[in-house]
């Protein structure tokens, strides 16, 4: 699969080729980095498989119980592939099978995993004729289907891996950041927070003194990641603009944050637009302790929840020979 596809000539499809991928969950709105910073995690992930089909167009097969649309225009993965196909010879058709292990609407980039996984898998079938930035551009069309707006703070880390900075969407300017080893604890309370509600309660104007604090924290967080300075990362994990407003939608948020930090977490906040909450820790032992704290608080509140202890995924969408893990659901 070394030769690039010649987009000007009819393309010979290899119908025996099958590409299987694991598309990771992602944490967007990394505390102070609302809409601009996100990272990928090693678990959970969606499993997807793609192959060429004889007829042009897209067939989507759902191999899970979420009942997501199979109409390519309504499924985020289909929308992403359709955007890609606008730049491909018209004889190409794909059959995509999706096994979602990341619950839709959980706040850890379920829609981004499907969109990014689909185009990354198709790109492999197509001899990697598109760049990573192209894949982000296509996959953002899936986010538009899910939330009404094109955004890349889940898509970019899903495709690039690691922590990514979206310096600009129009034009697309993605900066992949290096990061020291970090353990991530995620709790997903089984409640629904609508992305539209989480957006509509935000104020459109901010005070200059708050803006100064926020950009100080963003710069501090980026510097802390690049310099592997855990103390600076911890100090910079503060959001004075979005979290104070949005956290009221998530029961137990303040308690979880305060007690996780007491247990040794560097800090954390709302994952995406919630309801999941994430915390970063320097060691696995601390991350496990934080999971215990989250579990205890939600048990006391009698709220069903799932916790996850994982690490930052540095590869993004992974190509696999077979699906071994069947139980990585959040």
Applying CB under 6 A, which residues contact ligand ADP?
68, 75-77, 98, 100, 104-112, 114, 146-147, 195, 272
Two structure tokens written together for 194: 């609508």
CB of 38 to ligand ADP, least distance (A): 11
| Angle, vertex CA 154, rays to CA 68 and CA 149, nearest 5 | 70
CB of 309 to ligand ADP, least distance (A): 19
Between the alpha carbon of residue 277 and those of residues 159, 241, 247, 252, the distances in Å are 22, 17, 10, 10
CB of 193 to ligand ADP, least distance (A): 9
- 59, 70, 195, 311: which one is catalytic? 195
CB of 41 to ligand ADP, least distance (A): 13
Q: Nearest-CA neighbor of 317 among 100, 3, 46?
A: 46
Q: Rank residues 76 and 297 by Cβ distance to ligand ADP and give the closer one.
A: 76
Q: Is 164 a catalytic residue?
A: no
Length of the chain: 330
CB of 105 to ligand ADP, least distance (A): 4
- 43, 95, 143, 282: which one is catalytic? 143
Q: Nearest-CA neighbor of 83 among 140, 124, 10, 128?
A: 140
Q: Rank residues 98 and 222 by Cβ distance to ligand ADP and give the closer one.
A: 98
DSSP 178: P
Between the alpha carbon of residue 130 and those of residues 43, 73, 286, 297, the distances in Å are 26, 21, 40, 46
Q: Nearest-CA neighbor of 17 among 113, 97, 126?
A: 126
Q: Rank residues 167 and 199 by Cβ distance to ligand ADP and give the closer one.
A: 199
Q: Rank residues 109 and 220 by Cβ distance to ligand ADP and give the closer one.
A: 109
Q: Is 195 a catalytic residue?
A: yes
- In angstroms, rounded to a whole number, what is the distance separating the alpha carbons of residues 209 and 305? 37
| 107 within 8 A of 270, measured Cβ to Cβ | yes
Q: Rank residues 110 and 185 by Cβ distance to ligand ADP and give the closer one.
A: 110
Q: Rank residues 30 and 77 by Cβ distance to ligand ADP and give the closer one.
A: 77
Q: Is 327 exposed, middle or buried (0-12, 13-18, 19+ CB in 10 A)?
A: exposed
35: left (phi over 0), alpha (psi -120 to 50) or beta: left
DSSP 5: P
CB of 100 to ligand ADP, least distance (A): 6
Catalytic residue numbers?
A: 143, 195
């Amino acid at each position: 699969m070394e030769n690039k596809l010649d987009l000007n000539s009819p393309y010979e499809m290899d119908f025996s080729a099958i590409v299987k991928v694991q598309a990771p969950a992602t944490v967007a709105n990394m505390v102070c980095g609302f809409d601009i910073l996100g990272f990928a995690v090693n678990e959970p992930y969606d499993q997807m498989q793609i192959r060429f089909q004889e007829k042009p167009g897209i067939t989507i097969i759902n191999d899970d119980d979420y009942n997501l649309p199979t109409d390519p225009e309504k499924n985020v993965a289909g929308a992403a592939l359709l955007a890609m196909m606008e730049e491909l010879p018209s004889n190409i058709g794909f059959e995509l099978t999706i096994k979602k292990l990341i619950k839709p609407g959980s706040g850890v980039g379920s829609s981004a995993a499907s969109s990014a996984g689909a185009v990354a898998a198709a790109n492999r079938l197509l001899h990697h004729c598109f760049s990573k930035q192209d894949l982000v551009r296509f996959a953002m069309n899936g986010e538009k289907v899910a939330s009404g707006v094109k955004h890349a703070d889940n898509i970019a880390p899903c495709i690039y891996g690691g922590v990514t900075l979206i310096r600009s969407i129009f034009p697309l300017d993605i900066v992949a950041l290096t990061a020291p080893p970090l353990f991530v604890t995620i709790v997903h309370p089984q409640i629904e927070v609508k992305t539209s509600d989480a957006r509509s309660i935000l104020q459109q104007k901010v005070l200059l003194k708050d803006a100064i604090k926020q950009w100080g924290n963003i710069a501090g967080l980026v510097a802390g990641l690049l310099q592997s300075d855990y103390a600076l990362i911890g100090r910079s994990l503060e959001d004075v603009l979005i979290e104070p407003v949005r956290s009221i939608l998530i029961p137990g948020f303040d308690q979880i944050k305060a007690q996780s930090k007491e247990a040794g977490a560097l800090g954390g906040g709302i994952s995406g637009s919630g309801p999941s909450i994430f915390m970063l820790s320097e060691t696995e032992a601390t991350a496990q302790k934080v999971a215990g704290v989250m579990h205890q608080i939600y048990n006391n509140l009698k709220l069903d929840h799932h916790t996850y202890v994982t690490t930052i995924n540095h590869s993004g969408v992974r190509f696999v020979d077979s699906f071994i893990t069947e139980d990585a659901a959040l």
